[in-house]
Chains A and B, each alone.
Chain A
């Protein structure tokens, strides 16, 4: 297993320093590491385990259980499309197909050039104004295929 670079090491250390004393701290620490680095490098897992007095298996088990935690970097743009029922009732299935075709990636894939990651999500709580997408953290409602194209074209393919 490769070792952590200095930046990642510092992020892990700082997360453990700040949150390691909280009761049941593992998720809090993992959030802090992912917020800082964009993902949780596999090489960070032994360090987190050592810092919190847990086994590597426990940390790995938690990282892999939760959909939100990821062990590889995302694309420069992250597009989340809601697949849940309320969006389906408003044309979500067509948008799901359109998003994959338009971006040239399937759900939960990153394009080869690292430009974009497409993720399926299951309810963003925007259920009266679907279909809903989140692009780089910002939610958009009433997203038709045309609006999807406009939103993903904005600020260009970096």
Chain B
């Protein structure tokens, strides 16, 4: 049997040279070893991180450049031999070993294109169990697990599913929101590239649970690698009888398609996404009606994030009781945190809710990559609050963050060192909102542009007290008056910057 070498095909790994490493390995060791392209383990500072299967486990080397390949092979890479880039058994790496990977259990390990590999690593056990249950029982299992929407809104997934189940309709849909536009987030991308079949399985279970026969994954166009991985996985699932007219011979149908976005952040908002799926401008809908009652093409529709859906298989496989052992209070289960920005060891950390921000930034992140003190952290994407160093001991769960006026969102954590100009970041929050506003409601469309002006005026020093009052009032107007979370939350980073870093807003004259 040929020795297996695992080389990530993950977009981040490829952005730092993984394809070149795979090519170099194929050229020099292709006859002796089989090269398997996987997702990433999420230790991004070590990418490209390659692994070789040995009797002692998978031995990692990284970061490996294509130029390192000849020396690695000469040193005995195929036997897992010593080399300065050798990391040891990857599963034993402290960054990974201390994690609680439920949703990401297979990411970076399996061949994302192979149903056989997926099944060999525990895949489709959840679906097999769901096929033997009634729809209401499946919905109850998800509800009992405590799973809440991982896209950011944290709405209980089981309640959403129950609403769709309870609708009598000839057609229902399951849609997956894979429009992961928040800066500092990449969990959806990693999952789709590294273990797309878990998403396919989760959506199939959702279809069985609520009586939907058609699913759509709405993936952003900025993720071409994810789109390709999803399409390959769906074709493989079809060929193996896990999708189609009779799933595993059960006589129950579920079809799944991928739809591609077109560069609109707002389409991460669920009703905009539905508009876009229907072929229209991604303008938000007024709710009610809820999508669960009247969603895609007017039919009852589940709209769930990638991580929520990809977590369903493990809940069905291990049971709700198992899943809810993790976490704290009403934040049950695990959350894939994404460590981004100015950190030494950026990457993916899946832990039970309740780990503190400081543990994440210091124990995993290793502090700033620049070597300077961390000054602020933005949690939950461009609409999330900036958290100052004095609040780094806050536990990461929905309720604890809400208590300090912040939010977990989709789990993105972007760290900034002490060179950050918080007035500039506040201005950017408005600028981004202006660029991405769908234009339907005035507070968001006009308010965001006015916000940029007001911050400019404030910094220019003309009537600063008056500008400051205007800015606070504008934030309040947008929060109260916007139709959706874009205009309604864009003021959060601004308000938090004003509150925690007022010194950055001192007039500085024209520049």
Contact = CB atoms under 8 A, between A and B. Distances in A.
Contacts of B224: 137
Contacts of B245: none
Counting chain B CB atoms within 10 Å of each CB, which of A25, A66, A121, A127 scores highest?
A: A127
Nearest to B415: A89
Contacts of A142: 16
B42 to A, nearest CB: 9
B281 interface: yes
Interface stretch (A3-11, A80-88, A98-106, A110-118): A80-88
A123 B436 CA distance: 13
A128 B222 contact: no
B346 interface: yes
Contact of A128 (B45, B180, B276): B45
Given A67-B262, A85-B341, A141-B12, A62 B378 contact: no
A23 B341 CA distance: 40
A10 to B, nearest CB: 22
A125 interface: yes
A139 B341 contact: no
A90 B276 contact: no
Nearest to B431: A83
A28 interface: yes
A60 B490 CA distance: 28
A129 B182 contact: no
A59 to B, nearest CB: 10
Contact of B262 (A30, A61, A90, A129): A30
Q: Would you call the interface of chain A mostly helix, strand, loop, or mixed?
A: loop
A139 B17 CA distance: 10
B174 interface: no
B181 A127 contact: no
Nearest to B266: A65
Interface residues of B, number: 59
A145 B482 CA distance: 39
Given A85-B184, A127-B412, A139-B11, A65 B45 contact: no
A89 to B, nearest CB: 3
A24 B436 contact: no
B348 to A, nearest CB: 8
A56 interface: no
A128 B186 contact: yes
B183 interface: yes
Chain A interface size band reads 35 or more
Interface string A27-66: 1101100000000000000000000000000100110011
B318 to A, nearest CB: 29
B511 interface: no
Contact of A125 (B11, B347, B425): B11
A24 B277 contact: yes
A23 B415 CA distance: 42
A65 B181 contact: no
A123 B179 CA distance: 11
B220 to A, nearest CB: 8
A26 interface: yes
Contact of B339 (A27, A84, A85, A128): A128
Counting chain A CB atoms within 10 Å of each CB, which of B11, B184, B428, B436 scores highest?
A: B184
Contact of B183 (A62, A65, A127, A140): A127
A124 interface: yes
Contacts of B264: 65-68
A90 B420 CA distance: 10
Contacts of A26: 279-280
B168 interface: no
A67 B263 contact: yes
A114 B182 CA distance: 32
B243 to A, nearest CB: 17
Contacts of B276: 27
A125 B438 CA distance: 22
A129 B16 contact: yes
Contacts of A62: 279-281
A91 B213 CA distance: 47
B222 A85 contact: no
A140 B11 CA distance: 9
A90 B264 CA distance: 24
Nearest to A30: B262
A127 B414 contact: yes
Contact of B425 (A58, A85, A137): A85
Nearest to A93: B424
Contacts of B342: 89-90
Interface string B332-350: 0000001111110011000
24 contacts: A24-B297, A27-B260, A28-B259, A30-B262, A62-B279, A62-B280, A62-B281, A65-B438, A66-B261, A66-B281, A85-B184, A86-B184, A86-B412, A86-B414, A124-B222, A126-B11, A127-B412, A127-B414, A128-B45, A128-B338, A128-B340, A129-B16, A129-B346, A141-B16
Given A126-B186, A141-B15, 9 more contacts: A24-B277, A85-B425, A86-B341, A89-B417, A122-B181, A123-B183, A126-B15, A128-B346, A129-B44
Interface of A: 23-28, 30-31, 58, 61-62, 65-69, 84-90, 121-130, 132, 137, 139-142
By Cβ-Cβ distance, the 5 closest A-B pairs, closest first, are: A128-B346, A26-B279, A89-B341, A84-B183, A68-B263
